[in-house]
Amino acid sequence: MKNYSHWIDGASCQPSGGEWIDSVDPYRGETWAKIPRGNAKDANLAVAAAKRAMTQGPWARMTPTERGKIMRRIGDLVLQKAERLAEMEVRDNGKLFAEMMGAVRYKAEYWYYYSGLADKLQGSVMPIDKADMLGLTLREPVGVVLALTAWNSPLNFLAIKCAPALAAGCSVVIKPSEFSSVSSLEFAAITKEAGLPDGVLNVVTGFGNEIGSPLVEHPDIAQITFTGSDVTGAKVYEAGARHMKRVAMELGGKSPNIVFDDADLEAATAGAVAGIFGAAGQMCTAGSRLLVQNSIKAEFTERLLAVARTVKMGNPMDKTTQMGPISTAPQFDKVLKYIDIARSEGARCILGGKPAELGGLFVEPTIFTDVKSKMRIAQEEVFGPVLSIIGFEDEAEAIAIANDNVYGLAAGVWTRGIGRMIRVSKALQVGTVWGNTYRTYSFTMPFGGMKRSGVGRENGIEAIEEFLETKSIMISTAEGGPANNFIPR
């Protein structure tokens, strides 16, 4: 077992309070590492280091091209150390090793992509409407960025947030979830090896009220980027607003996965299963509402049950395992609570609905039918392997049911009709629509939500805009300057 330290100013830093938190392996149910229990003093040290890096250190003096080269080396090292990083993720959150290996390797592409953007952030010469005046704009880093990441995919969120922030020239302080901090601390050391100057990337760990809140409230934090629940996100948003900080939010979802009667049913079945039982349903984009046209509902339900019954649960390090445990004990209890709520509301459980016989934090793949759109099981985010099947008659009703929710993160549409695909995609109140696929991500494609699913966008060129300020410069070219001191020209 290893006792980890904070990563502040390019070095390991023991928690000022001298306390650690157990990191529990959700599969084995045992403590496998200890992470620092940070406090306000640790928060101040990390932010001070990040501010120095932006204002006094070599990072502030580097050209964008030089910054991009360092970021590319980070991507190279992520590839070299992918196996260890993936294992850290599995031990922390119980996701499948095979999935994590692919995900970690793919995250190197984020560092490559944004390394290439670092020296392409151009200002403009504006066609200003004033005579004898030159108008310019510059793109400048917003300042010190606070990245608050969720427990289900810490390295994923770290790359998504930090790569564009560094490309913009910012420095960052990362506060991962106390449930899964180890991989972020391991990653921090990689950035040192890649040549990232001290203080540019800092990682501090601990409980939200003890170190997260002091970070959010810190006057030298200019931008907050957060991934988590909408309830916590609202609190962070409110705190950021009090201090006029810029805030980007990637929050929860209750994504509809819509199957029309002209769909490829075999492909749609695979997409529906992967959309809710992948990662044990612990993903913000989980297709937890399966909307099926009534004309094929009975047939499609049987297809779905046939596949779902074969889902293999077990050791996430085993290549044959298809679904791992719930990541934390509180989340395990929450999932079971929602299963009870669904039954009490009149939904009919046709598969699963209880803890798995494996014991530990495993919940059986669970499917409910006879679900109405206003039921809590169809309105609230469960974040577990629980699927609600809802029937619909036609295109208009499918759209109405899909949009009948406070969330608007993602949706799936399964149809062979290109016209229907475009009509429905345009009508859905979500940030991402997947057509005849599900859970497909790309670093080039903007990602984010509408309504209570978030503010701002991650991925793609849009993401880097979150970390940039635009400065306007107007220079008089008139000989002798303005005509007088009172009337602008």
> Would you place residue 484 in the very low, low, confident or very high pLDDT band (cuts 50, 70, 90)?
low
Backbone phi and psi for residue 441, each to the nearest 5 degrees, phi listed first: -125, 155
- Which CATH homologous superfamily contains domain 2-251+453-472? Aldehyde Dehydrogenase; Chain A, domain 1 (3.40.605.10)
Measured in residues, the chain has a length of 489
Spatial CA neighbour of 42 closest among 201, 215, 197, 193: 215
What's the mean per-residue pLDDT of the chain? 96
CATH architecture type of domain 256-435? 3-Layer(aba) Sandwich (3.40)
Find the mean pLDDT for residues 137-154: 97
> Would you place residue 488 in the very low, low, confident or very high pLDDT band (cuts 50, 70, 90)?
low
250 is a catalytic site residue: yes
Locate the domains of the chain by residue range. 2-251+453-472, 256-435
Choice among 250, 381, 458, 466 that is catalytic: 250
Please enumerate in sequence order all residues whose Cβ is within 8 A of that of 88, keeping only pairs 6 or more positions apart, or say none.
182, 183, 186
Q: Which helix (H) or strand (E) holds 133?
A: strand 133-141
Q: What is the pLDDT of residues 356-415, one digit of tens each?
A: 999 999 999 999 999 999 999 999 999 999 999 999 999 999 999 999 999 999 999 999
Find the mean pLDDT for residues 439-462: 96
- The β-bridge partners of 333 are none
The answer, yes or no, to whether residue 266 has pLDDT greater than 70, is yes
At residue 481, the pLDDT reads 66
Residue 57 amino acid letter: G
At residue 479, the pLDDT reads 87
Spatial CA neighbour of 277 closest among 349, 225, 342, 326: 326
The answer, yes or no, to whether residue 39 has pLDDT greater than 90, is yes
> Would you place residue 480 in the very low, low, confident or very high pLDDT band (cuts 50, 70, 90)?
confident
Residue 248 amino acid letter: A
The answer, yes or no, to whether residue 485 has pLDDT greater than 70, is no
Spatial CA neighbour of 123 closest among 108, 138, 112: 138
Q: What is the pTM of this model?
A: 0.95
Residue 242 amino acid letter: R
Residue 378 Cα distances to 369, 375, 390, angstroms: 11, 5, 9
DSSP reduced 3-state for 441 = coil
Choice among 284, 381, 458, 466 that is catalytic: 284
> Would you place residue 242 in the very low, low, confident or very high pLDDT band (cuts 50, 70, 90)?
very high
The helix, strand and coil proportions of the chain, stated in percent and rounded to the nearest 5, come to 40, 25, 35
> Would you place residue 280 in the very low, low, confident or very high pLDDT band (cuts 50, 70, 90)?
very high
- Tell me what percent of the residues of the chain surpass a pLDDT of 90: 97
Please enumerate in sequence order all residues whose Cβ is within 8 A of that of 399, keeping only pairs 6 or more positions apart, or say none.
424, 427, 428
Pairing type for strands 366-369 and 348-351 reads antiparallel
Residue 18 Cα distances to 38, 149, 184, angstroms: 9, 24, 20
Find the mean pLDDT for residues 42-65: 97
161 backbone φψ class: left, alpha, beta (φ>0; ψ -120 to 50): alpha
Backbone phi and psi for residue 391, each to the nearest 5 degrees, phi listed first: -85, 155
At residue 328, the pLDDT reads 96
The answer, yes or no, to whether residue 487 has pLDDT greater than 80, is no
At residue 41, the pLDDT reads 98
At residue 276, the pLDDT reads 98
Structure tokens at 186: 């391991």
Spatial CA neighbour of 173 closest among 59, 77, 45: 45
> Would you place residue 134 in the very low, low, confident or very high pLDDT band (cuts 50, 70, 90)?
very high
E runs forming strands in 26-115? 30-36
Pairing type for strands 133-141 and 468-476 reads antiparallel
Least confident of 12-21, 264-273, 354-363, 480-489: 480-489
Q: What is the pLDDT of residues 304-355, one digit of tens each?
A: 999 999 999 999 999 999 999 999 999 999 999 999 999 999 999 999 999 9
> Would you place residue 482 in the very low, low, confident or very high pLDDT band (cuts 50, 70, 90)?
low
At residue 66, the pLDDT reads 98
